[in-house]
Amino acid sequence: MIRIIVLLGYLLWLAAAVDAQSVKVSILVDLDPTSTERTVIVESITADRDGRLYVPDRVSGNILRVDPKTPKPVVVAKIEAREKDGKKMPAEGAGIAFNAQGDLFIASGSFGEVVRIRKTDLNPERPGIAETFATGTEGANGIVFDRQGNLFVAGGRSGRVYRVGPDGGVAQTAVQIDSFVRKLPDGKTEQAIVANGLDFDAKGILYVADTARGAIWKVEIGSDGKGGKPILLAQNPLLEGADGIAFDSSGKLWVAANERNAILTVTADGAVQEVAKNGSQGPLEFPSAIVFVGNTGYISNYDTPRRDNMAADGKTSIDGIGAPIAQIMP
């Protein structure tokens, strides 16, 4: 009898442990329910003041809006492809953020620009067309506004973080992260992006995700807009693939580690904790960014076929559902 009770207790504990792992991340919406392949590709996510989510689709150039209460994507704006050497060059929208006025900004690495869509042009009836806001931002990836309305733009493998004032124009280099290249466990793929996701803490200190090192840098920004020397807050194999970052309302930093299919937190003293992780089946499929609305974190999945997101066939990312938005409740 005692044995049975012990066994039952163990089974209950096991069920609770499994439950705690599995309830944390779920799918809010599949951005392409008809396919598990990368017909929609989203690298970043943000939210407006009403808690509605926005993601730029790199394939179509469309800006999709999703209301978490009725999660169906609608097109509210578009970044039109440009011509280069007689070929179509898509914007491949990366980082996305609102300014205080409610205008929407998207980084384009291929244009080397940040583009803007005015608040009044975010309209499902008549989707607005993005226009150039900032130039001189080679490798433009993660973006974030400071409290004064200056825009900071991560420059990917260049290691630069650019800054441009509230009116846009030519961006200036504010921060420099040293170059670094990491070889992935496959022995072939090289990861060289050292300035990726960005966010500010409540004190106005800038944080930079270093995808290549598996690290987070913090940088104090002076009143002249120039950054001081970057300080390494955390470097840890758990952070390999660190992509989008965001502070929650309690001041804890959250990190999407894309190639590990994992979500982590980093404390103010640099302690790294893994909150969620899964294999190629999802719900995390190469998570690229996270944004908080209240206490819920919404995660965009980029679904690159690499490392822990490689499908069972060893070639593709067809395991899972493709390009969903996932949600996590701490």
The token pair at 180 is 């670094």
Whichever of 30 and 57 has its CB closer to Ca ion, that residue is 30
Sequence-distant (≥ 6) Cβ neighbours of residue 167 within 8 angstroms: none
Query: Does position 61 bind Ca ion by CB under 5 A?
Result: no
Candidates 19-27, 227-235, 255-263, 299-307: pick the segment binding Ca ion (CB under 5 A): 299-307
Query: Does position 266 bind Ca ion by CB under 5 A?
Result: no
Query: Does position 121 bind Ca ion by CB under 5 A?
Result: no
Query: Does position 322 bind Ca ion by CB under 5 A?
Result: yes
Query: Does position 259 bind Ca ion by CB under 5 A?
Result: no
> Minimum Å distance from CB 302 to Ca ion?
10
Q: 3-class SS at 145?
A: strand
Whichever of 214 and 305 has its CB closer to Ca ion, that residue is 305
Query: Does position 287 bind Ca ion by CB under 5 A?
Result: no
The two beta strands, 169-170 and 131-135, are: parallel
Query: Does position 320 bind Ca ion by CB under 5 A?
Result: yes
Whichever of 32 and 210 has its CB closer to Ca ion, that residue is 32
**What DSSP designation does 279 have?**
-
Provide the mask over 8-47, with x wherever binding to Ca ion is found by CB under 5 A and - wherever it is not.
----------------------x-x---------------
* Chain residue whose CB lies nearest Ca ion: 322
Count of residues in the chain: 330
Q: 3-class SS at 16?
A: helix
Query: Does position 303 bind Ca ion by CB under 5 A?
Result: yes
Q: What is the DSSP string of 112-128?
A: TEEEEE-GGG--SSS-E
Query: Does position 57 bind Ca ion by CB under 5 A?
Result: no
Contact call for residues 153 and 144 (beta carbons, < 8 A): no
Query: Does position 92 bind Ca ion by CB under 5 A?
Result: no
* Three-class HEC string of 188-249: CCEECCCECCEEECCCCCEEEEECCCCEEEEECECCCCCECCCEEEEECHHHCCEEEEEECC
Candidates 14-22, 146-154, 201-209, 285-293: pick the segment binding Ca ion (CB under 5 A): 285-293
What residue ranges bind Ca ion (CB under 5 A)? 30, 32, 285, 303, 317, 320-322
